[in-house]
Amino acid sequence: MAAGQRFTPQIPDPDSDGAPAMDGWGFADSGFAITDDGNVTMTGSRYPLSGQVLPHLIPWISGILGIEVDPFDRNEPHYPPRVPEPVINRKFVKALGEVIPESRQSLDDEVRLRRGHGHTQEDVWAIRYGSIARVPDLVVWPESDDEVEVIVQLAGRHGVTIIPYGGGSNVSEALRCDPNEKRMIVSVDLGRMNRILWVDPDNNTACIQAGAYGRHIHSALKAHGFTMGHEPDSVEFSTLGGWIATNASGMKKNRYGNIEDIVRDVTAITVDGKIERYSVGPRESIGLDPRNLLFGSEGNIAIITSAIVSIFPVPDVRAFDSVLLHSFEDGVAMTNELMKQGNIPASVRLVDNMQFQFSQALKPATRGAIAKLKSRLQKFMVTKLYGYRPDQMCVLTLVYEGSKKDVAEQQKRVRKLAKKYRGLAAGAENGKRGYTMTFAIAYIRDFVMKHWVIAESFETSVPWSQVVELCNRVKKRVVDEHAARNLPGHPYVTCRVTQLYPTGVCVYFYLAFHYKGVEHPSDVFSEIERAARDEILKCGGSLSHHHGVGKIREGFVDRIHSPAGLSAVQKVVSALDPDKVFGAGNHAVRSSRG
């Protein structure tokens, strides 16, 4: 291909590679299930765990929670719940029909329900065991910027409110509709605006529509020797527009940057029309830039329709690695020093002991006498010969990407530091397993919910000097809150370090407890999670690193902004959307809307 010649890769239709599950996370053909003999297996064929029998998982969960989990005792969901009747603004519907054909509109209850929630445990609990008081009244699929602009104009003209929808993967209740909203709510689904409009190989940029799923962006670019490099845990189901609207981060941020580093320009539709630029430079100083308002906007002021992003040649080398460490404290110290030395691996993730145990519980049954002997020998060497304590050891998993020279230098540096911190090389296979398992274990939360265990993740960022203290205090706060409510058994609370910065890290927590016999368990879980968030803020952690605020964290916004700062945000939103056409109402914007 000639230098500078733009081309257009083909992206598949949104669901051409598999229908999504409607009652939980992931693909409909994948998930965890109980076998006839009471073990756990993963259905489908998409992931390394698929088709494997996992005999250790249920016994391990029982031991950790201090409750005997009966694999055949299920809390049966009753999805779908009753869906509220739609509110219809007939003048709007009539005008919309002149622009968008009925084939790209839906009043179907289940379609509307799906656009009214994301993937918090509260969301999944509500659709399985409870109800959602308000959902969008109509779903519409535009195919161009012009159609989006007309939808926004019609909404303003006829007193309708709209909420953008990408992949629906948020864990912040960002899609929850205000139950007191009397106007017709329209979900604008960007699923048909999912194309890569062009790739410019000479300038290392691409223009991509906002509704494109991460998995499709990556496969389409890779076919032409490029990558965007942005790979969040939700990459299979989240979209480019959602990444920008939540100010997202990915697992390989160390090499490629966060979303704000990758995006060069954003096109969006506001009530006043299209925000777009006529040229994009490598870097600019142009005064107040409306583009910056869109990062973290969470659907409040505009519908993001496309973006120009940086792309990178697919690296020459991609390699995995892992290091076993004696303690989480050793791991934090090692990663801190690794960060200070520079030229760090694309992904560096440190899991604590509890999460390390969890990964071991997810290992398939060992088959064959030789394999069993090897497994026992490895365990003996680690615990007896090298002195690792099973209740303290943790693991660092790494992904290297780059030139052969860069990767070799990074590997050498990691090995040297591992030796300094008494670490043991755990091999590329364990590193790869730890990295790729991320996509499969996302299904576990919804699986265990059916077996009387409620669980969720939450994250923060924190300075290096406070990482260990924050992790310890948050864990203790969770244990104390669990005990104060006389909940059954013990809580499961664990953490991992996922992204590194010169000044600190992102920490990801997981929380779970057994809820059989507990009244309103989803509400109780939310109370404990809010207590954990309170402790995070007291320890100097951030409100969120990349999940966003949505509605689930809006009660803490006044603890991160001064009154003047919060007022400034609310005034900007009110000025850009005086008639409140955009109805998402996220990150405490609702307080400015009466």
Q: Residue holding tokens 């992949």?
A: 167
From the CA atom positions of the chain, what is the Rg in Å?
24
Where helices occur in 428-514 by DSSP H, the ranges are 428-441, 444-449, 467-484
- Rounded CA-CA distance 429/251 in Å is 18
**Structure-block tokens of residue 510:** 């997981």
What local confidence, expressed as pLDDT, does residue 574 receive?
Answer: 93
- Rounded CA-CA distance 139/83 in Å is 14
What local confidence, expressed as pLDDT, does residue 389 receive?
Answer: 87
Catalytic residue set: 508
For residue 248, count other CB atoms closer than 10 A to its CB.
26
What local confidence, expressed as pLDDT, does residue 488 receive?
Answer: 97
What local confidence, expressed as pLDDT, does residue 367 receive?
Answer: 66
For residue 173, count other CB atoms closer than 10 A to its CB.
21
Where helices occur in 22-88 by DSSP H, the ranges are 57-65
- Rounded CA-CA distance 475/339 in Å is 25
Task: Kindly list the strands in the beta sheet with 196-200, ordered across the sheet, starting from the edge strand earlier in the chain.
Answer: 196-200, 205-209, 303-310, 263-270, 273-275
Give the list of residues 6+ apart from residue 316 with CB closer than 8 angstroms, or none: 402, 403, 404
- Rounded CA-CA distance 369/432 in Å is 25
Which domains, and CATH codes, for the chain?
86-314+561-594 (3.30.465.10), 317-441 (3.30.70.3450), 444-546 (3.30.300.330)
**Percent helix, strand and coil across the chain, each to the nearest 5:** 35, 20, 40
What local confidence, expressed as pLDDT, does residue 435 receive?
Answer: 87
Query: How far from each other are the two terminal CA atoms of the chain, in whole angstroms?
Result: 56
Give the sign of the dihedral formed by CA 340, CA 344, CA 349, CA 351.
negative
What local confidence, expressed as pLDDT, does residue 381 receive?
Answer: 55
Q: Residue holding tokens 């509307």?
A: 112
pTM: 0.95
What local confidence, expressed as pLDDT, does residue 587 receive?
Answer: 80
Q: Which residues of the chain have pLDDT under 50?
A: 1-2, 370, 373, 377, 380, 591-594
The string of DSSP codes covering 112-175 is HHHTT--SSHHHHHHHHHS--S---SEEE---SHHHHHHHHHHHHHHT-EEEEESS---SS-TT
- Rounded CA-CA distance 550/556 in Å is 11
The CA angle 492-70-23, to the nearest 5 degrees, is 70
Distance of CA 171 to CAs 44, 168, 213, 276, 549, Å? 25, 9, 17, 29, 9
What local confidence, expressed as pLDDT, does residue 377 receive?
Answer: 46
- Burial pattern 249-288, b for ≥16 Cβ within 10 A else e, equals bbbbbbbbbbbeebbbbbbbbbbeeebebeeeeeeeeeee
What local confidence, expressed as pLDDT, does residue 1 receive?
Answer: 43
The CA angle 584-587-588, to the nearest 5 degrees, is 95
What local confidence, expressed as pLDDT, does residue 536 receive?
Answer: 98
